[in-house]
Structure 1
Amino acid sequence: MNSPIYILGTGLSHNGSVVLLKDGRVCVGIEKERLSRVKHDGGNDTLAIQYCLDAEGIELKDITLVVQCANFEIPGRDRFRGERIFAGTETPKIVDISHHLAHAYSAVGTSPFSECAVMVIDGCGSPLHQFLQLHPDQKKDVPQSVLNKNQMICEKDSFYHFDGKQLTPLLKDFSEMTKFGTQQFSLPTSLHSIGGFYAVISQYVFGDLDDVGKLMGLAPFGNSGVFEFEAFEFESGRLFVKEDWKYKFTNPSQGYEYFKEHFDYYANVARWAQEQVEKAVIACITNRLEQFPHENLCYSGGVALNAVANAKLEDSKIVKNIYFEPAAGDNGLALGCAFYGWIEYLKMPKIQHDGNTCFGKKYTAKDIDAVFQKEEYKKYNPKIFDSEDELLQYCAEKLNEGKTIGWFQSGSEFGPRSLGRRSILAHPGIKNMKDHINRDIKFREDFRPFAPAVIKDKVGEYFMTGRNSPYMILVDKTRPEYSKELINVTHKDGSARVQTVEESWNPRFAKLIAEFYKQSGIAVLLNTSLNKKGMPIVETPQEAVHLFEITALDVLVIENYVVER
């Protein structure tokens, strides 16, 4: 019997991650922050690589190829922000690829398409000099006007074609970097990128870059038309950020209390920025597809996490089929690195992905027992359910009573959204539940929304478009007749970031919602990530128990183990 071919992909930018392919399929993957417990952690990858090796039960010598990607440098074999696991070894071979190529392959490898166009839009990719060092054959694809620039310039959007065997760049755009610190709208991103624009507005509104996704959550509280000027313009097929709007915003946030005092103003700014991003994304992708038509489109890069813009893009019908990569941010770079190694470097056929995005390792009863045997956790004395049906009935009853549940099942999700493996769950319609979870469990701003997780074949009953959205990366509108039943998962403007639950790769979560539906008559649960503000999503049983201890969660379920206050 032939030995398996293992390819390891590693992303060493912020939001670092590692993914392991076995014969072309993902067998394990993890974001570094889940292990180090430092939000958006990146740099050295030894911790995440060791996790993947241990989870698969192999050693470094079993790896056929490593493919890596870092934004502004090419990491050394022995050291990168500390000693690496490859130090002192000559095998496996390490190959480097550029930032946008990794984003693109993360979408290609997990998409349902055998052939497609690929769009990558983010805040800042590889610098031009590094890109050309890694891919000298692509110099011909870079406009001469870009090659002539003296200052540092970086990738900002890229458009490719995948023919089933290889990814070919069709159009790449670069932008000079912002001169950091020269004015209030200066951040270390490319000057003319959509992602860079969204980041600087987030900085202006919140005073920090803790979570640019907050801007999307704030936007529905604002009004359209308050600011009647444009942030972007197209010139000769290239997207640019204009300068004149920057002088119209002169009241940057001075902290959370100041933000709350001027809430309406900042909500209006967020609404304007969100609408500008939506228009820019559609304009940019429309331009590329007009030049290079294709009925299938993969979309990745940090901007592809904007669920509102994604829904507008899908509804625009400018392309027949769109696949939105669930780990579209830099946490997906490792995924793209691994698939590049399999498809392009080793010239192996693409293996159809099953749609699952939960790549973490499973924890055993022995692992869970060990946590509850610790002196500080002996007080909990968990109940262990032998029957899955009884466990689900119990959990559904608690949810229907208005209890909140910390839900820990199987391998963790890869990417920024909790999809029913590491989740906080609650009733979608009990009054004030949303405020309670934000205030007493998540410890975050009260305007932040929660997502509805719905049985897939019921989505059209509760939501207007009824679109398939398994990765919580698209919004829909709650049907008015269900606004009361879904009050905790419907945003101020009637929108909802829906998750359609797939029983094929999320069976226990699907069964729980079905049982809740049987008891409550509602086929929807409130679903949010199992963490609190500033904390990475829980990875281990011990972290789950710790979160239960420091928050107001009512029930914690770890596999078949249940503790209740």
Structure 2
Amino acid sequence: MAPPIYVLGTGLSHNGSAVLLKNGQVCVGIEKERISRKKHDGGNDTLAIQYCLDAEGISLSDVSLVVQCANFDIPDRNQFRGERIFATVNKPEIINISHHLAHAYSAVGTSPFSECAVMVIDGCGSPLNQFLSMHPEQKKNIDSSFLNETEMICEKDSFYHFDGQKLTPLIKDFSKMSGATTTELKLPTTEHSIGGFYAAVSLYVFGDMDDVGKLMGLAPFGNAKGFNFNAFEFQSGSLLVTNNWKKHFTNPSKGYEYFKKHFSYYANVAKWAQEQVEKAVITCIANRLEQFPHKNLCYTGGVALNAVANAKLEDAKIAKNIYFEPAAGDNGLALGCAYYGWLDYLKMPKVSHDGSTCFGKQYSEKQINEALQEKSNKNYNKKKFETDEPLILYCAQKLNEGKTIAWFQSGSEFGPRSLGRRSILAHPGIEGMKAHINKNIKFREDFRPFAPAVLKEKVSDYFESGRNSPYMILVDKTRPEYLKELCNVTHCDGSARVQTVEETWNPRFVKLLNEFEKQSGIGVLLNTSLNKKGMPIVETPKEALYLFEISALDILILENTVVEKDNLTN
């Protein structure tokens, strides 16, 4: 039997990651921040690569090809913000691809389509000169106005066709980088980036341009009727950010207390910005599909994580089928690198993906026990269930009683959402639960929302559109008759960022949802990531125990082991 073919993808931008394909299928993948415990960590990739090799039980010599991607850099084999794992060996071969191409391959590799169009929209991609140095054959596809530009210009949005094996660029738009002036509303990326615009408004509202997800959560509290101006215009096939809107925003946040004092104002700004992004995304993608129609569309890049805009895009019906890449941000670059290596460079056939985003390694009972032993001085009650049924019965009962559960199961999710492997679970309808989790477990702002997890086949019972949303990146509207029962997972405008749970890759979570419905009459659970504000999602049992210790979590489930605090009432 021939040895397996391993292709390693590595992303070295912020939100760095590594992914290993085995014979064309993902066998392991991890974001660097999950191991280093530094939010949005990137740069040197040795830590993430070693995790993948160890999880698969192989060495670097077993890898056939490495494909890498970093924004604004073509990384050296030996050094990139420290010595790399490749420094002392000549093999495997390392090749480079551009930022948007990595995004695009991450989508087509995991999508259900054998042929499709692909749209990439983000904050900023590769500079044109680096793009051409990596892909010189693409020069003929670049507009002459971009080739003649003397200032640095970077990928802004890209539109491709995938024929089942290879991506062909159809439209690539570039933009100059923003000028050197420093104002609260200076776009941190290119001059005409949707992602850059949203980051600039995030900085204005929160004082942090990385809080774009928080901005989407704030928007439902606002009203944009007082803002009768636009941030975007479409000219000659290119989406541009105007400058006129900036003059209307002269009151940047001066800290959290100031933000709370002027909450309504900042919520209105967030609502306006959200609506601008929604219109811009639909306008841009509709234009591309008008020129190159296709029934199947893959959508990726950081802007594709905007769940509200995604739902509006789906409702616009500009494509029959849309696949939203769950790791659409830069954490997905390694995934795209690996798929490029398999499909384009090695010219191997696409292997069907099962839809799972759970690429992390599983922790053994021995590792769990070792972590528990370190906490032997704590007054925790521990017990182990040998089979699923009593564990599920116990968890459903406690959730129905109003207890909060840290749910640690199997390999962790790849991407920004916890989908039932590293989750905090709670009752969706007990009054005050949302505020309790935000304040005493997540240690974050009280307006931040939580997601409803629901069985795929029951989503239409509780939500109006009944969207299939396995990755928690589409919103829906909670049906009016369930607003009270789902008060902790429904935004103030009636919307909810739904997760539809599938048995094929989340069987234990399905069992829990079924049992909770039997006991409570509600087939929905509150689901949020197993972390606190500013902390990457928990990866190891030790980290889960740390969060359990410092927060008001009631119960921790580590695979089949239950950990309770001694003050838990039974």
TM-score higher than 0.5 here? yes
Conserved 8 A contact 1:180-1:187: no
TM superposition shift of 1:434: 0.3
Structure 1 segment 330-345 matched on structure 2, within 5 A: 330-345=330-345
Deviations 1:75-99 (A, max 9, x none): 0000100000000211000010000
Conserved 8 A contact 1:18-1:49: yes
Q: Which amino acid aligns with 1:335?
A: L
Which residues of structure 2 form unaligned runs of 5+?
566-570
Looking at structure 2, the residues matched to 53 and 128 of structure 1 have their Cα atoms a distance apart, in angstroms, of 33
Conserved 8 A contact 2:201-2:270: yes
2:4 is the alignment partner of 1:14: no
Deviations 1:345-391 (A, max 9, x none): 00000001000100000000000010111155554241111121000
Q: Which amino acid aligns with 2:160?
A: Y
Conserved 8 A contact 2:206-2:255: yes
Other structure's SS at 2:259 match: helix
Deviations 1:34-91 (A, max 9, x none): 0000000000000000000000000000000000000001000001000000002110
Other structure's SS at 2:157 match: strand
Which residues of structure 1 form unaligned runs of 5+?
none
Q: Which amino acid aligns with 1:288?
A: R
Task: Show the counterpart of 2:168.
Answer: 168
Conserved 8 A contact 2:19-2:26: yes
Query: For the structure 1 residues 217 and 53, does the alpha-carbon distance in structure 2 shift closer, same or farther, using more than 3 Å as the test?
Result: same
Looking at structure 2, the residues matched to 548 and 521 of structure 1 have their Cα atoms a distance apart, in angstroms, of 28
Deviations 1:237-279 (A, max 9, x none): 1000001111110000111000001101100000000000000
Q: CA RMSD in A?
A: 0.8
Q: Which amino acid aligns with 1:404?
A: T
TM superposition shift of 1:224: 2.8
Looking at structure 1, the residues matched to 94 and 328 of structure 2 have their Cα atoms a distance apart, in angstroms, of 24
Task: Show the counterpart of 1:100.
Answer: 100
Looking at structure 2, the residues matched to 512 and 445 of structure 1 have their Cα atoms a distance apart, in angstroms, of 29
Structure 1 segment 501-516 matched on structure 2, within 5 A: 501-516=501-516
Range 242-251 or range 144-153, more displaced: 144-153
Looking at structure 1, the residues matched to 52 and 474 of structure 2 have their Cα atoms a distance apart, in angstroms, of 30
Percent of pairs with identical residues: 76
Deviations 1:529-550 (A, max 9, x none): 0000000000000000000000
Task: Show the counterpart of 1:303.
Answer: 303
Range 203-212 or range 505-514, more displaced: 203-212
Q: Which amino acid aligns with 1:136?
A: P
Task: Show the counterpart of 1:256.
Answer: 256
Other structure's SS at 1:218 match: helix
Conserved 8 A contact 2:222-2:271: yes
Conserved 8 A contact 1:181-1:187: no
Task: Show the counterpart of 1:313.
Answer: 313
Looking at structure 2, the residues matched to 387 and 177 of structure 1 have their Cα atoms a distance apart, in angstroms, of 57
2:402 is the alignment partner of 1:405: no
Deviations 1:92-122 (A, max 9, x none): 0001000000000000000000000000000
Conserved 8 A contact 1:514-1:523: yes
Structure 1 segment 129-208 matched on structure 2, within 5 A: 129-208=129-208
Task: Show the counterpart of 2:40.
Answer: 40
TM superposition shift of 1:210: 3.8
Task: Show the counterpart of 2:425.
Answer: 425
Q: Which amino acid aligns with 1:201?
A: V
Looking at structure 1, the residues matched to 76 and 82 of structure 2 have their Cα atoms a distance apart, in angstroms, of 10
Task: Show the counterpart of 1:50.
Answer: 50
2:74 is the alignment partner of 1:88: no
Looking at structure 2, the residues matched to 393 and 146 of structure 1 have their Cα atoms a distance apart, in angstroms, of 62
Conserved 8 A contact 1:156-1:175: yes
Deviations 1:277-310 (A, max 9, x none): 0000000000000000000000000000000000
TM superposition shift of 1:151: 1.2
Task: Show the counterpart of 1:536.
Answer: 536
**TM-score, normalisation: structure 1:** 0.99
Conserved 8 A contact 1:372-1:380: no
Task: Show the counterpart of 1:390.
Answer: 390
Q: Which amino acid aligns with 1:514?
A: N
Other structure's SS at 2:133 match: helix
Task: Show the counterpart of 2:500.
Answer: 500
Looking at structure 2, the residues matched to 144 and 464 of structure 1 have their Cα atoms a distance apart, in angstroms, of 48
Looking at structure 2, the residues matched to 249 and 123 of structure 1 have their Cα atoms a distance apart, in angstroms, of 21
Looking at structure 1, the residues matched to 551 and 151 of structure 2 have their Cα atoms a distance apart, in angstroms, of 49
2:408 is the alignment partner of 1:415: no
Other structure's SS at 2:441 match: helix
TM superposition shift of 1:145: 1.2
Task: Show the counterpart of 1:477.
Answer: 477
Q: Which amino acid aligns with 1:348?
A: M
Conserved 8 A contact 1:118-1:160: yes
Task: Show the counterpart of 2:463.
Answer: 463
Task: Show the counterpart of 1:28.
Answer: 28
Conserved 8 A contact 2:99-2:333: yes
Conserved 8 A contact 1:180-1:188: no
Other structure's SS at 2:95 match: strand
Q: Which amino acid aligns with 2:195?
A: G
Range 212-221 or range 374-383, more displaced: 374-383
Task: Show the counterpart of 1:266.
Answer: 266
Looking at structure 2, the residues matched to 451 and 375 of structure 1 have their Cα atoms a distance apart, in angstroms, of 31
Other structure's SS at 2:38 match: coil
2:217 is the alignment partner of 1:240: no
Deviations 1:117-157 (A, max 9, x none): 00000000000110011011111111111122211110010
Range 495-504 or range 135-144, more displaced: 135-144
**TM-score, normalisation: structure 2:** 0.98
Q: Which amino acid aligns with 1:114?
A: S
Looking at structure 2, the residues matched to 185 and 315 of structure 1 have their Cα atoms a distance apart, in angstroms, of 31
Q: Which amino acid aligns with 1:492?
A: C
Looking at structure 2, the residues matched to 95 and 36 of structure 1 have their Cα atoms a distance apart, in angstroms, of 25
Other structure's SS at 1:487 match: coil
Looking at structure 1, the residues matched to 250 and 149 of structure 2 have their Cα atoms a distance apart, in angstroms, of 31
Looking at structure 1, the residues matched to 77 and 380 of structure 2 have their Cα atoms a distance apart, in angstroms, of 46
Other structure's SS at 1:525 match: strand
Looking at structure 1, the residues matched to 282 and 97 of structure 2 have their Cα atoms a distance apart, in angstroms, of 28
Range 148-157 or range 92-101, more displaced: 148-157
Range 113-122 or range 377-386, more displaced: 377-386
Other structure's SS at 1:528 match: strand
Structure 1 runs (4+) greater than 2 angstroms displaced? 180-184, 375-381
